[in-house]
Amino acid sequence: SLNGTEEKRFKRFESYKRDNQLPASVANLGIVVDKKSLTVILPIMGRPVPFHIHTIKNASHTPENDFTSLRINFLSPGQGVGRKDDQPFEDPNAHFIRSLTFRSQDIDRIDNVTKDIQELKKDVVRRETEKKQLED
């Protein structure tokens, strides 16, 4: 039944099914925002690791003199400080990656990456709100 009082449910999502779907640009060992797949790919010890935009809470970077630090915060249980923590999780007892911080000397590119992540997040949230309004 479709009514507003229904509890928020976790919806499954998936970035890629096969490794040949990874964009070729992951070879540069830099952060890649794959808008088409709603995914941010992060280099961790030489491996391209996808994170779906639905797992990302926010991203911001802090430029220093000759490098910048990009911090990506992910959604995880126990973060609902000061507001209702109604974010649904598939398995709240799992281990969660809560944040990843990267350092880069390529400040302009990281600035673009940060903006791309923020915009992608905004787009997805906006589309979901619109969808929900249509359902109501």
Q: Which residues bind another protein (CB under 8 A)?
A: 13-19, 21-22, 26-31, 39, 42-52, 54-55, 67, 69-70, 74-78, 89-106, 110
Helix (H, G, I), strand (E, B) or coil at 94: coil
Residue whose CB is less far from another protein, 90 or 136: 90
Comparing CB distances to another protein, the nearer of 27 and 132 is: 27
Q: Which is nearer to another protein, 100 or 118 (CB)?
A: 100
Q: Are the CB atoms for 61 and 69 separated by under 8 Å?
A: yes
Task: Provide the minimum distance between the beta carbon of 38 and another protein in the complex, in angstroms, as a whole number.
Answer: 8
Burial of 111 (0-12, 13-18, 19+ CB in 10 A): middle
Tokens of 49: 């690791």
The token pair that represents 56 in the structure block: 């990302």
CB of 30 to another protein, least distance (A): 4
Q: Can you list the positions of beta strands (E) in 2-67?
A: 32-34, 39-44, 47-52, 56-63
Q: What does DSSP assign to residue 130?
A: H
Q: Which CB, 83 or 133, lies closer to another protein? A: 83
| Residue 8 beta carbon to another protein: minimum distance, rounded to whole angstroms | 17
